[in-house]
Structure 1
């Protein structure tokens, strides 16, 4: 299908790293299928997808640990397809961190420099610079077992950066951290990448991690790239049902275009409603589409909302309180359940909730909040 209609297309990127028509097969199974990606110099780029989508295989091809069945890898204008890993201007930070338990933090960071044309004092200075960068200079003489998980992660990052690679590959870098530490470390990694100007390529299955870290995201599915764009582009303007469903929560139903005359109207039998939508390009009356609305775009109230909002009446079937917001599952007359998020902006005994279980409510959303997808 055509790319989603976005207000700004992420196309003005240099080609410092070029993945050109790369396919990787293991026997009869193609783990990566004809993938092409251009990554800019100094960009923080994320490969996002579920287990088995091919993202780690693609990262290993970039690193030189796997040879593509076809296609090529170009870095800074040089073909690296057949260049061994140790001769590539690349370093890789593994998910396990792979620190040497018998070495101090400083020696772990300096370890990769021992074969470089540097004196012992130069290696020590470089290691200290990297520890300053990750704010661990005070812990230089500790052993890895004396550090927290977040500190070990930063030691591994400092070691990966010590050789000043042109490209740093990070394989699920935050997977071993708890939620709060992971959220904090995401910003640390982004800040370090900005300070160094090194091109980062991150593999992750965590959509929030990718959206927080990356300048651009490639969403992968079964060895292919489904969409490349900024976090806001892939979230607000998904180009297919897979991306819409994979990135964040969404309500999605089958619909049929009813009218296109200044405004577009779509019949959605499962909602028992005809919705007005904001987009109408490349559509035809009678065309079948997927109709999607994100839960946070839906307002929930006890009173009927004013026109021209799309509005549907229902009953609160389930409710989850998360503190800052609440998730409502509202059952419609058709039996379908719609999800709606509401920010708990008031402090009271009910947690700021606008409705309770069993309450009759109205759900409403702007025409511009409706996403139309053709597959």
Structure 2
């Protein structure tokens, strides 16, 4: 059994399941989260991420398994006795209270003197850069400012663990991107462990030091953003994180560190890195990110080159997304960075242009499940 405090991960989740009647929301999850991490639980609606968060907070009890926080078994310990605080998606601010009173509300029963509470509130408002707004009411603040008040209130009690449930869901895209970096900065300054629940892949990739991807109550993969994006361990994770092209194929041969895979959708063989599990006759899926594919008007040198026709083109300023139709009818997404200013007529390709697409063998991800 884990020791009381000290060494080891801050959170140890051991074979935890949670059922609601016949529905299993969390299914035999085991996970360690280290002290000082900014950890993300990522998945779609109904995947179990919020239920797992609520079990950490103490709002739900596991049907099976155990949860340890700083070495202590949380079984039977109510939310108010856990070294945990939670920031809700709605922010749950008191509309009749000023910003400083909202931030200091949770300190009333902590045995602190009035002077100590005032000092702590000032520290928190300085941390979230809202000192000049201390006297305002929530309705006098922007969405981003209300979000920071909620964060300051959650941090004021100095919990060992802060849980954030879709913390940026109510913000517009530009403000959400700005606030992501603010949260990262605040987490780094405080050293408090943050666990963030989100369905937004970009948010998880930006915020977290590590990510757990969940689906149907199970954890599919845990890793750094780079691990999850560049080295997914399944077709589900590859398809859930970012945009990706997925092709079905069969290994025809392996030679050294290269495998040849026949891909009917592309109309020929491709070369990919040969993993130990790949051998002739193996049925696999090949995943290639759109930004790893090059589009050109002339046939490039090297392997993994195929001809097609541009059927769709989206211009997004910093980049362009092409959908290239192969002779098989398969549409391949290609993302091209607009590295220099160019007129529309100067783009690499236009609608209905015949083009070539190509990608480096090392950019292909071979997946068996």
Q: What is residue 296 of structure 2 aligned with on the other side?
A: 301
SS in 2 for 1:286: coil
Mean Cα displacement is larger for which, 277-286 or 62-71? 277-286
Aligned residues: 362
The answer to whether the 8 Å contact 2:259/2:278 transfers is: no
Structure 2 unpaired stretches of 5+: 1-6
SS in 1 for 2:25: strand
User: Alpha-carbon deviation of 1:351?
Assistant: 7.7
Moved over 6 A (4+): none
Q: What is residue 260 of structure 1 aligned with on the other side?
A: 254
Q: What is residue 4 of structure 2 aligned with on the other side?
A: none
The answer to whether the 8 Å contact 1:14/1:39 transfers is: no
Q: What is residue 118 of structure 2 aligned with on the other side?
A: 124
The answer to whether the 8 Å contact 1:260/1:280 transfers is: no
Q: State how 1:80-95 maps to structure 2 within 5 Å.
A: 80-95=74-89
Distance in 2 (alpha carbons) for counterparts of 1:77 and 1:315: 59
User: Alpha-carbon deviation of 1:59?
Assistant: 0.2
The answer to whether the 8 Å contact 2:245/2:290 transfers is: yes
The change in CA–CA distance for 1:122 and 1:352 in structure 2 (over 3 A counts) is farther
The answer to whether structure 1 residue 243 and structure 2 residue 237 are counterparts is: yes
The answer to whether structure 1 residue 180 and structure 2 residue 174 are counterparts is: yes
Q: What is residue 6 of structure 1 aligned with on the other side?
A: none
Distance in 2 (alpha carbons) for counterparts of 1:81 and 1:359: 64
The answer to whether the 8 Å contact 2:14/2:31 transfers is: yes
SS in 1 for 2:196: strand
The answer to whether the 8 Å contact 2:249/2:286 transfers is: yes
The answer to whether the 8 Å contact 1:97/1:152 transfers is: yes
The answer to whether the 8 Å contact 1:14/1:38 transfers is: no
User: Alpha-carbon deviation of 1:113?
Assistant: 0.3
The answer to whether structure 1 residue 286 and structure 2 residue 281 are counterparts is: yes
Q: What is residue 367 of structure 1 aligned with on the other side?
A: 361
Q: Output one character per residue of 1:71-95: Cα deviation in whole Å (capped at 9) or x when no partner.
A: 1110111111220000000000000
Q: What is residue 169 of structure 1 aligned with on the other side?
A: 163
Q: Output one character per residue of 1:158-207: Cα deviation in whole Å (capped at 9) or x when no partner.
A: 00000000000000000000000000000000010000000000000000
The answer to whether the 8 Å contact 2:304/2:359 transfers is: yes
Q: 1:348 aligns with which of 339, 342, 345?
A: 342
User: Alpha-carbon deviation of 1:273?
Assistant: 1.4
Q: What is residue 222 of structure 2 aligned with on the other side?
A: 228
TM-score (norm. length: structure 1) = 0.95
SS in 1 for 2:344: coil
Q: Output one character per residue of 1:59-80: Cα deviation in whole Å (capped at 9) or x when no partner.
A: 0000000000011110111111
User: Alpha-carbon deviation of 1:348?
Assistant: 2.1
User: Alpha-carbon deviation of 1:14?
Assistant: 4.6
Distance in 1 (alpha carbons) for counterparts of 2:345 and 2:160: 50
Distance in 1 (alpha carbons) for counterparts of 2:274 and 2:154: 46
SS in 1 for 2:313: strand
Q: 2:183 aligns with which of 189, 192, 200?
A: 189
Q: Output one character per residue of 1:216-272: Cα deviation in whole Å (capped at 9) or x when no partner.
A: 000000000000000000000000000000000000011101111122100111111
Distance in 1 (alpha carbons) for counterparts of 2:226 and 2:273: 18
Q: 2:138 aligns with which of 123, 139, 144?
A: 144
Distance in 2 (alpha carbons) for counterparts of 1:327 and 1:64: 45
Structure 1 unpaired stretches of 5+: 1-12
User: Alpha-carbon deviation of 1:279?
Assistant: 3.2
Q: Output one character per residue of 1:130-175: Cα deviation in whole Å (capped at 9) or x when no partner.
A: 0000000010000000000000000000000000000000000000
Distance in 1 (alpha carbons) for counterparts of 2:187 and 2:20: 34
SS in 1 for 2:341: coil
SS in 1 for 2:132: helix
The answer to whether the 8 Å contact 1:21/1:70 transfers is: yes
The answer to whether the 8 Å contact 2:265/2:326 transfers is: no
Q: What is residue 73 of structure 2 aligned with on the other side?
A: 79
The answer to whether structure 1 residue 108 and structure 2 residue 107 are counterparts is: no
